[in-house]
Amino acid sequence: MTFQPHGKHLVAGEWVAGDATFQTDPASGPSHTVYSGAPELINRACEAAEEAFWTYGYASRAKRAAFLRAIADEIEARGEEITDIGSRESGLPAARLEGERGRTTGQLRMFADHIEAGDYLDRRHDVALPDRAPLPRPDLKMVQRPIGPVAVFGASNFPLAFSTAGGDTAAALAAGCPVVVKGHPAHPGTAEIVAEAIAAAIASQGVHPGTFSMVHDGGNETGAALVLHPLITAVGFTGSLRGGRALFDLCAQRPDPIPFFGELGSVNPMFVLPHAVAARGDALGAGWAGSLSMGAGQFCTNPGVAVVIDGPEADVFVSAASAGLETVGAQTMLTEGIARAYRTGRDRVQASAGVREVLTSTCDLRNATPYLFETTGQAWLADHTLGEEVFGPLGIVVRVQDAAEMEAIARSLVGQLTCTLHMDGDDTPLARRLMPVLERKAGRVLANGFPTGVEVCDSMVHGGPYPASTNFGATSVGSLSIRRFLRPVCYQNMPDDLLPEDLLSADQG
C-alpha cells in the first residue's frame, strides 16, 4: 500500500491548505507538493492549544495514558505505509524505520505507564505545625503541574522517534501539555501520516482537537513565529547547533522568555586506555568503524573522536579502524543539505594544521563515504575547530603523548552527549582520574561500549552541557524527559476541594 500525501497542515482537527507551497526532495520516487505554513496558521494552532489546555491539562492521568496508547495503536495500524513513505523521503532502509517505529510506539506506551504510576509528580507534604515556636508552620503540599502549550520541531535524522509523535511530543502530552509540531521539510509525508494517526486517536478518545496540531514549512518563518507566539510555554528541538542556537536566542529575547530544550550535537569522544588498547586494539578499532559508519554516521551520538596514547598499540587500533571503514560503501544521506555539510566538515578537518589522512574516499551528491584522520594532542589543543561535530561517518584519532595529555584533552572538551572509556582492570587508576572530568562534560558516560543507540528507559540521560544541549539539567530521552514540561506548584493551607486530584490520593489514576 502506498501513502499519497496531500501536503496539508493539521490545525485543531482540520486539514488546511494555504497559498505558498514547496516541493519535497525525496531520496527516491517522485516529489510532492507541500503547503507552506504562515504566522496566521501558527496563531490558530496556538490558540486552539491554549483552549485545549483547560481540559486536557486537567484530565486524569488515566485518560492521558489511554490517549498515548491509542496514538501508538494508530501508528502501528499504518505501519507499512509509514515505512514506505519514510524510506522514500529519507533514504533510510525499511529495517531501520521499522525499528524506529517500534521505538516511537514504545516511548508512547512507556509514558502511559509512567504517568499512571505517578512517581513523576514528586508529591510532597509538610503537615501544619500550629503549635511550633516561635512561629507556626502552615500546611504545605507540592506537586508537579503541566506548563501549557509546547512547540516541538521535527528532527531530520529521526523521522519518527524524534519528530511528529516522537519523544518530545510524547513527553509533553504525557505531562498534560498540548503540542504544536513544526514538521521537518525533509520528510513532510511521514509527518503527515503520523499526524493522521494522532488525529484518529484524538477522535477515538474524545480529546480536544486543539491538543495536537502540525504545520509544515520549507523555510524559517513558521518556526520563528512558533517560538515567539505568546501562548507557547516551552520548545523541544533536535537539530543543528546553528539552527538550534538561533531558536534559543529567539526564546530568550521574547518579552516572556521561555525554556528552549535543544539537543544540538556532539563529537562523543572515546578515551581508549593503554591496557585496553594493548589487549584488544584490533577489536576496538573494528568496533569503532562499525559504530562510526552506522546509518551513514547520522546519529547525534556518533563517536567521532578517539583519544589514544601514541605507540605501536595505537597503530594496531588505527589500522583496524581504517580496515573496517574501508569496506563501507557509499550511503545515502538524509538530505542533500546534510551531504553538503558533511563534505564541508571533511574539508575543514582536512585543511587543519597537524592533521594527517589515514583513509580518504570520494563522495558527492547525496552520498557519504567514510573518512579517517589522525592528529596529535598538541595540534588538537591548539585548534578548537577539530572538536566541532561533522555529521557523518568521519573519525579523528588524537594521538597523545601520555596520560597527562589525555587528561588535558578531556579537560579541553566542550559539552558532550556522551563520553566513553575503553578500559581493562589495570586501567582503573587512569580511569579514576578521567571520570570527574568526563561526568562534568557529558550527560552519559560509558565503559567498554559504543554510544550509538540510546535506550529509552527511566535511567537514560540524552543531553549534556552546551553545546550538546541548551539545558544541562534535562534529557530528551527516557521518562525523566517529562520534567521539561512540568513545574512545581506549592499549595498552602488549601482546602481539599480545591487541590488537584493528583494530590488527594497517592494512587489516584
Task: Please give the positions annotated as active site.
Answer: 263, 300
**CA–CA distance, 355 with 361 (Å, rounded to integer):** 16
**CA–CA distance, 339 with 50 (Å, rounded to integer):** 39
Instruction: Collect all residues with Cβ–Cβ distance below 8 Å to 28 and sequence separation of at least 6.
Output: 87, 88, 91
**CA–CA distance, 502 with 177 (Å, rounded to integer):** 16
- In DSSP terms, 140 is beta-bridged to 126, 492
- In DSSP terms, 180 is beta-bridged to 151, 213
- Torsion sign, CA atoms 317, 322, 327, 329: positive
**CA–CA distance, 305 with 56 (Å, rounded to integer):** 45
Set of cell numbers at residue 241: 547547533
Instruction: Collect all residues with Cβ–Cβ distance below 8 Å to 355 and sequence separation of at least 6.
Output: 349, 373, 374, 375, 379, 386, 396
Q: How many other C-beta atoms are found inside a 10 Å radius of the C-beta of residue 76? A: 14
Closest to 111 measured CA to CA, from 169, 190, 151:
169
For residue 393, whether the previous peptide bond is cis, meaning omega lies within 30 degrees of 0, is: no
DSSP-assigned states of every residue in 69-99 = HHHHHHHHHTHHHHHHHHHHHH---HHHHHH
**CA–CA distance, 150 with 169 (Å, rounded to integer):** 8
Burial 164-194 (b: 16+ CB within 10 A, else e): bbbbbbbbbbbbbbbbbbbbbbbbbbbbbbb
- In DSSP terms, 416 is beta-bridged to 442
Measured at the alpha carbon of residue 87, what is the angle toward residues 84 and 89, in degrees to the nearest 5?
105
Q: Say how many CA atoms lie within 13 Å of 388 toward its Cβ.
A: 15
Q: CA distances (Å), 82 to each of 10, 201, 235, 475, in order?
A: 17, 16, 26, 27
Q: CA distances (Å), 317 to each of 174, 286, 410, 449, in order?
A: 45, 8, 20, 15
What Rg value do the Cα atoms of the chain yield, rounded?
Answer: 24
